[in-house]
Chain A
Amino acid sequence: MAALEEEFTLSAVPLGAGPDGLLGVEQCDKTDQFLITDSGRTVILYKVSDQKPLGSWSVKQGQVITCPAVCNFQTGEYIVVHDSKVLRLWTNEDVNLDKVFKATLSAEVYRILSIPGTEPLVLFKEGAVRGLEALLAEPQQKIETVISDEEVIRWTKFFMVFRHPALIFITEKHGNYFAYVQKFNSSVVSKYTLLLGQEEKSVIQSFTASLCRKFISLMSLSSDGCIYETLIPIHPSDPEKNQHQRVVRSVLLKTVVSGNARNALSVLDQDHVAVLGPPLPASKECLSIWNTKFQTLQISKELPQGTSGQLWYYGEHLFMLHGKILTVIPYKCEMSSLAGALGKLKHGQDPGTQTMPHFVNWQTSQGLGSQNSEPSKRILRRRKIEASVQPEVPASQQLLSNIKKDSEKHIEIELRKFLAIKRTPDFHTVIGDIVIGLLGRCKTEPSFYPRSSLMQLIQMHVLSYSLCPGLMEVALEKTDVQMLQLCLQQFPDIPEAVTCACLKMFLSIGDDSLQETDVNMESVSDYSDAVQEEKMEEQTGILQNGFNPEEDNCDNCDKELSEKPQNTIEETTSCPVIPKRAALLNAVLHSAYSETFLLPHLKDIPAQHITLFLQYLYFLYLKCSENATMTLPGIHPPTLNQIMDWICLLLDANFTVVVMIPEAKSLLLSLYKFVKSQICICSELNKIEVSFRELQKLNQEKNNRELYSIEVLELF
Chain B
Amino acid sequence: MLVDRQYMGVSKRKCIIWGVAFLSDGTVISVDSAGKVQFWDSATGTLVKTHLVANADVQSIAVSDQEDSFVVGTAEGTVFHFQLVSVTSSSSEKQWVRTKPFQHHTHDVRTVAHSPTALISGGTDTHLVIRPLMEKVEVKNYDAALRKITFPHRRLISCSKKRQLLLFQFSHHLDLWRLGSTVATGKHGDTLPLSKDADHLLHLKTKGPENIICSCVSPCGSWIAYSTASRFFLCRLNYEHDNISLHRVSKMPAFLRSAVQILFSEDSTKLFVASNQGSLHIIRLLEGSFKHLHTFQAQSGTVESMCLLAVSPDGNWLAASGTSAGVHVYNVKHLKLHCTVPAYNFPVTALAIAPKTNNLVIAHSDQQIFEYSIPDKQYTEWSRTIQKQGFHYLWLQRDTPITHISFHPKRPMHILLHDAYMFCIIDKSLPLPNDKTLLYNPLPPTNESDVIRRRTAHAFKISKRYKPLLFMDLLDERTLVAVERPLDDIIAQLPPPIKKKKFGT
Contact = CB atoms under 8 A, between A and B. Distances in A.
Interface of A: 1, 213-214, 256, 279-280, 286, 288, 295-298, 300, 335, 337-347, 349, 353-355, 357-363, 365-369, 429, 432, 467, 679, 682-683, 685-686, 689, 700, 705, 707-716
A341 B364 CA distance: 11
B139 A354 contact: yes
A72 to B, nearest CB: 32
Interface string B440-479: 0001000000000000000001010100000000000000
Contacts of B427: 716
A280 B365 CA distance: 33
Contacts of B502: 689
B194 interface: yes
Given A341-B347, A712-B185, A712-B186, A353 B143 contact: no
Interface in B268-308: 300-304
B116 interface: yes
Contacts of B345: 1, 340, 347
Given A357-B137, A700-B488, A716-B461, A710 B118 contact: no
Interface of B: 24, 68, 83, 85-86, 89-90, 99, 115-118, 120, 130, 134-135, 137-143, 147, 179-182, 185-192, 194, 197-198, 300-304, 324, 345-347, 364-367, 401, 425, 427, 443, 461, 463, 465, 480, 484, 488, 502-504
Contacts of A213: 24
Contacts of B188: 712-714
A142 B415 CA distance: 81
Contact of B365 (A342, A467, A679): A342
A79 to B, nearest CB: 37
Contacts of A338: 115, 117-118, 120, 130
Given A335-B116, A429-B89, A682-B504, A343 B197 contact: no
A711 B303 contact: no
Contacts of A337: 115-117
Contact of B191 (A339, A349, A709, A716): A709
10 contacts: A296-B324, A297-B303, A358-B134, A686-B503, A700-B488, A707-B198, A708-B194, A709-B194, A711-B190, A714-B443
B504 A686 contact: yes
A686 B189 CA distance: 37
B401 A343 contact: yes
Contacts of B138: 354-355, 357
Contact of A710 (B120, B192, B461): B192
B135 A359 contact: yes
Contact of B300 (A279, A360, A369, A713): A279
Nearest to A213: B24
Contact of A349 (B117, B139, B366): B139
A635 to B, nearest CB: 26
B139 A343 contact: no
Instruction: Tell me if B's interface is mostly helix, strand, loop or mixed.
Output: loop
Given A710-B182, A710-B194, 5 more contacts: A296-B303, A343-B364, A365-B89, A682-B503, A713-B480
A343 B346 contact: yes
A715 B461 CA distance: 9
A254 to B, nearest CB: 9
A708 B364 CA distance: 32
B180 A710 contact: yes
A705 B484 CA distance: 10
Contacts of A708: 179-180, 194, 197-198
Most A CB contacts (10 A, CB to CB) among B134, B197, B300 go to B300
Given A338-B117, A705-B191, A712-B187, A367 B139 contact: no
A338 B484 CA distance: 28
Contacts of B367: 343
Contacts of B139: 349, 353-355
Most A CB contacts (10 A, CB to CB) among B130, B187, B503 go to B503
A286 B302 CA distance: 14
A279 B297 CA distance: 14
Contacts of B135: 357, 359-363
A432 B89 CA distance: 10
A337 B136 CA distance: 12
A184 B143 CA distance: 46
Contact of A345 (B143, B194, B425, B465): B143
A339 B143 contact: yes
B300 A300 contact: yes
Contacts of B197: 708
B182 to A, nearest CB: 5
A358 B137 CA distance: 10
A716 B465 CA distance: 13
Nearest to A360: B135
Contacts of B140: 355, 358
B68 A711 contact: no
Contact of B90 (A296, A358, A367, A712): A367
B142 A344 contact: yes
Contact of A712 (B143, B192, B300, B324): B192
Sorted from nearest, which 4 A-B pairs have the closest CB atoms? A343-B365, A682-B504, A714-B188, A343-B346
A363 B89 CA distance: 11
B471 to A, nearest CB: 14
Contacts of A339: 117-118, 143
A359 B443 contact: no
A712 B117 contact: no
Nearest to A683: B504
Contacts of A363: 68, 135
A344 B142 CA distance: 8
Given A682-B503, A711-B189, A279 B130 contact: no
Nearest to B365: A343
A353 B488 contact: no
A683 B504 CA distance: 8
